Amino acid sequence: MNTPEQHVEQTAEHEGLIKTPKQLIVTILLAFIIPIAVILLLIRLVTASVPLGVGSDAHSQEAVASRIQPVAKFSLVSAEAATEERTGEQVYSATCSACHTAGVAGAHKLGDTAAWQPLIAKGFDALLKNAINGVNAMPPRGGNPSLSDLEVARAVVYLANQSGANFPEPEAGGEAAQGGEAAAADGAAEQAQAAAADAPAQAEAQQATAQPAAEQPAAEQAAAAPEQPAQDAPAQAAAAGNVDLAAGEKLYKTTCFACHDMGVAGAPKFGDKAQWEPLIAEGMDKMIKISLEGKGAMPPRGGSTASDEEVISAVHYMVNAVQ
């Protein structure tokens, strides 16, 4: 049997280190705090040994601003700011192609080297003068008064170089632009002189035509006048149909104006009621057919790639201008 002394010794051997509730609480807290502290120290050690962005300016103000800048930018400009002048090819496509692609009214076709050689031989200045002031059936600036001298010069160089010439490309403020201004001044002076020379003849012609008109019987004047219903029919068709007159105006101002503004090759002038009345009397369907298929000097669709709807709208737009 065990003696009391031996029993006390055995009991002491089986007792733990935690003897009180306070010791238990402290042990639990340390069991959480010590691992967390060790982990934090390890993280600090790693980050301190290899700092982020060492040897680079990744954290500089400029680099940060570059990374967070917006995808798109915008700037406020004046509505009156000058627009960039177009290239010769762009001017040709927008204005000159209406005649020079199909050779309308004797216009020299783009790329026809044989036809362009006599013109190229006259030199760039002569070509530029004709382009700015107009010649024969070609209106001044190809019928587009919004073109600058530089844009006209670039278009001349593009046309000529595509047809066998080797003219240098005009630059802004260069000799070509100055030559264009001089050509425009010369053309204005020539037109003024021609108008002054023709003034007496025009006055006589007006007097000669005014007298027969005054002597013409009222019955004959009434018989010669076209019937009003024929004039109103196209306007009624335009109102009844779904015609986009805005699209017609856009096509006219980009293509049709080249001939119809100046009456090139017999084209009825825009807004000239006397020239449009015979066409209006033939009916809208016939005018649309001619516009789509072409007739005489007029190429199909006016030399453009416009759709049927756009061509029809342009015809209605021009007809409505004389109603």
pTM: 0.41
**CATH code of the domain in which 157 resides:** 1.10.760.10
CA pseudo-torsion sign 283, 254, 308, 313: negative
Average pLDDT value for residue range 136-160: 84
Residue 266 lies in a domain: yes
Instruction: Decide: 258 and 139 in contact? Cβ < 8 Å.
Output: yes
Average pLDDT value for residue range 102-113: 81
> Helix, strand or coil for residue 244?
coil
Residue 111 lies in a domain: yes
Two structure tokens written together for 130: 């004709």
For position 36, what pLDDT does the model report? 94
Judged against a pLDDT cut of 50, whether residue 225 lies above it is answered with no
Distance of alpha carbon 223 from alpha carbon 217, whole angstroms: 10
The lowest-confidence range among 102-116, 136-150, 217-231, 304-318 is 217-231
**Integer angstrom CA distances of residue 289 from 92, 99, 171, 213, 299:** 26, 20, 43, 36, 12
Task: Please give the residue range of the domain that contains residue 131.
Answer: 88-191
Average pLDDT value for residue range 215-230: 46
Residue 117 lies in a domain: yes
Q: Tell me, yes or no, whether 103 and 156 share the same domain.
A: yes
- Which of 191, 220, 253 is the C-terminal boundary of a domain? 191
Give the count of domains, the chain.
2
Q: Cα 182 from chain centroid?
A: 29
More confident residue, 13 or 29: 29
- Which of 145, 168, 191 is the C-terminal boundary of a domain? 191
Distance of alpha carbon 238 from alpha carbon 223, whole angstroms: 28
Angle between helix axes 149-161 and 175-215 (nearest 10 degrees) is: 100
